[in-house]
Chain A
Amino acid sequence: MTASAAPGGSLLRGSRRRRRNEAAVRGALFAAAALSILISVGIVLSLVFEAVSFLSQIELSQLVAPGWFPRRGMFSIATVVVGTLIVTVIAMTIAAPVGLGSAIYLSEYATPRVRGIVKPILEILAGIPSVVLGFFALTWISPNIVQNLFPEAKGFSLMAAGIGVGVLTIPLVASISEDAMRAVPNALREASYGLGSRRLTTSVRVIVPAAISGIVAALILATSRAIGETMVVALAAGASGGSLFTVDPLGPGQTLTAAMASLAAGSDQVAGANAAFQSLFFLGLLLFLMTLVLNVIADTFVRRTRQKY
């Protein structure tokens, strides 16, 4: 502890080379870890700079327009935000019950063998690239489900996109909420069964309430994922050239992400430093903020579960 001088040639001093190497390793690992902070800073800066530049180029009144048509200087935020919300609500209407049901089944009902078969299937579903799901939503879900149920629906629709996004987020809901339910101590289950409760009662009255933090986190994270999903909406929601404000889920519409994809993919044929191109960054900033808030909220719920057990 005290800074005493080493007796000449103490063997406890250790090799200076080793100490230098250890310090070098530590420094290198720290540098790697610090990189992740740099990435966050990079994301924020690249969004903010161009978004500010975008806002300075346009009249703020252009943000309130009949629709999202960047080439014509119509940057209706309401159009893309409402489109995003419609898709997200539809997606969660599917992902929440299906994901939660799967989670309860896997955690409380399934035998280890069934689990062993079903879990990998969910994992494979989670690994399907979203562009594939987008094509599937457009070419299969839209004609066979959406237009079957609602004959007036268009080929491109927010509905088809929402269902596709929902399918994409099912594994996320299922796996996080299943983890939360399996973390509920067995003593609680045994107590409930010991009182003669059936499995339905135990699952719904005991396990789900005990795991509620994790379940809420799963739903919030899935919402965030649905908001940020790009390829499914870019392919299935249509309106790649822009869209009028709409609340009709059965017709085409524009979302934050789809608008970004069409700006970048050139369907809106923009590039360079004009306002249309820079609206891409503005949308990105909006999207980033929305998902960040949701992720932070979800994170506090996750931490609450950790504290409990």
Chain B
Amino acid sequence: MNAPSAVLGSRDRSVRRDGIDIRGLLFAGFLLLALLFSLAILTVLVGSQVVQGFPVFAERGIDFLTSDLASNPANAGVAQGIVGTALLVVVVAVLAFPVGIMTALYLEEYAGDTALARFININVRNLAGVPSVVYGILGLAVFVTLLAVLGDGDGKTILSGGLTLAVLVLPLVIITSAEAIRAVPDALREAGFGLGGSRWQVIRQLILPAAAPGILTGTVLALSRAIGETAVLILVGAVLGSFSTNGSLGALLTGPYTALPAIVFDWARKPGPAFQADTSAAIIVLLAITILANAMAVVLRNRYERKW
């Protein structure tokens, strides 16, 4: 909307040709440096991981992706982590998306400017700022305990992990969905109501389709956050070494589990260059997934960014 730099740039140059504005140049140089810093870090980070992790893929190829965890770094692979992360993503999507979008709809379309709505809004914003490790405590105290009582294990399962992650990303889903819903122009609502649409009809047939790209972007970002989240998993027990991906779905959901970032954490603390290389290789897999998800969200948003 406002691109002052493009508009005003020419004036900056044309006026005051006398003398070079050293302070201005230094400042601009500093700003550019600040930007380049992030770029450099990102490059070094990805670069170093590729350099360290590539030999693993070169030597073992697909084997690294299909092997189970092992105490010998030469055989250890991330298959269980990939399965665990995929399952967690499904649990998060199934739980957090409907509840998050429903909450956003309530806040934007039903609640109006009541004290209750304001309270829920503030509450959601504060939840968004709660450190993830605290969500881990919630998961440990509530979900793990609950599932331990209901089931026969210790409750540290894909379900308790997924539940906790779902709660963790819920505020993010709510906030981004509410933003997308708020961006839908009132003209669309009025047209729908003017034709005799009930509130739910207007939401279902006009508002949700119009807000869908924005909501989708938010949910993809939320998933990407869930995929990389580690602290929560450590607290709700993504233990290593005994995650069987061969059993039935029931066993998968109710037994011990692990996930990609938990494997990264575990290997990162193991001594020796062999496991360091494995860690980098696992990071490459994790980064590939999260960066892909993030890039998808950015593309989605840019593609559908609507000028009403």
Question: Which residues of A does B touch, CB under 8 Å?
Answer: 18, 21-22, 25-26, 28-30, 32-37, 39-40, 42-43, 46-47, 49-50, 97-102, 104-106, 108-112, 118, 120-125, 127-136, 138-140, 167, 170-171, 174, 182, 186, 189-190, 193, 196, 198-200, 203-204, 221, 224-225, 227-231, 234-235, 240, 257, 260-261, 264-265, 280-281, 284, 287-288, 291-292, 294-296, 298-299
**Bound complex: CA A190 to CA B35 (Å):** 25
Task: Assess A135 versus B283: contact at CB under 8 Å? Given A21-B200, A182-B2.
Answer: yes
Since A124-B291, A260-B133, A281-B141 are in contact, a sample of 12 more A-B pairs with Cβ atoms closer than 8 Å, ordered by chain A residue number, is A32-B98, A118-B39, A131-B268, A182-B2, A189-B4, A228-B132, A230-B231, A257-B231, A261-B234, A264-B235, A265-B265, A291-B134
Which parts of B4-24 form the interface with A (CB within 8 Å)? 4-6, 8-9, 11-12, 15-16, 21, 23-24
Task: Assess A109 versus B5: contact at CB under 8 Å? Given A228-B132, A230-B132.
Answer: yes
Residues of A within 8 A of B134 (CB): 43, 47, 228, 284, 287-288, 291
**Bound complex: CA A40 to CA B268 (Å):** 33
Interface residue stretch chosen among B63-71, B117-125, B206-214, B245-253: B117-125
- A128 contacts B131, CB within 8 Å? no
Residue among B5, B141, B224 making CB contact with A46, cutoff 8 Å: B141
Residue among A37, A118, A120, A265 making CB contact with B120, cutoff 8 Å: A37
**Bound complex: CA A234 to CA B199 (Å):** 49
User: Is B158 interfacial (CB 8 A cutoff)?
Assistant: no
Report the nearest B residue to A132, measured CB to CB.
Answer: B283
CB-based A-B contact count at 8 angstroms:
276
**Bound complex: CA A261 to CA B230 (Å):** 10
- A231 contacts B126, CB within 8 Å? no
Question: Which residues of B does A touch, CB under 8 Å?
Answer: 1-6, 8-9, 11-12, 15-16, 21, 23-24, 27-28, 30-35, 37-39, 41-42, 44-45, 48-49, 52, 98-99, 102-103, 105-107, 110-111, 119-120, 122-127, 129-138, 140-142, 167, 170-171, 174, 198-200, 221, 224-225, 227-231, 234-235, 261, 264-265, 268-269, 276, 279-280, 283, 286-287, 290-291, 293-295, 298
**Bound complex: CA A224 to CA B135 (Å):** 15
- A102 contacts B264, CB within 8 Å? no
- A101 contacts B30, CB within 8 Å? yes
Q: How far is the CB of A133 from chain B (nearest CB, A)?
A: 7
Task: Assess A257 versus B103: contact at CB under 8 Å? Given A39-B170, A129-B228.
Answer: no
23 A–B contacts, CB within 8 A, in A order: A29-B103, A29-B110, A43-B137, A47-B141, A105-B31, A106-B35, A108-B4, A109-B31, A111-B5, A112-B6, A124-B291, A124-B295, A128-B42, A131-B264, A167-B38, A193-B12, A196-B15, A228-B133, A230-B132, A264-B140, A288-B130, A292-B126, A295-B126
Q: How far is the CB of A163 from chain B (nearest CB, A)?
A: 10
Residues of A within 8 A of B132 (CB): 228, 230
Residues of B within 8 A of A287 (CB): 131, 133-134
Report the nearest B residue to A131, measured CB to CB.
Answer: B230
Residue among B8, B39, B228, B269 making CB contact with A132, cutoff 8 Å: B228
Report the nearest B residue to A267, measured CB to CB.
Answer: B269
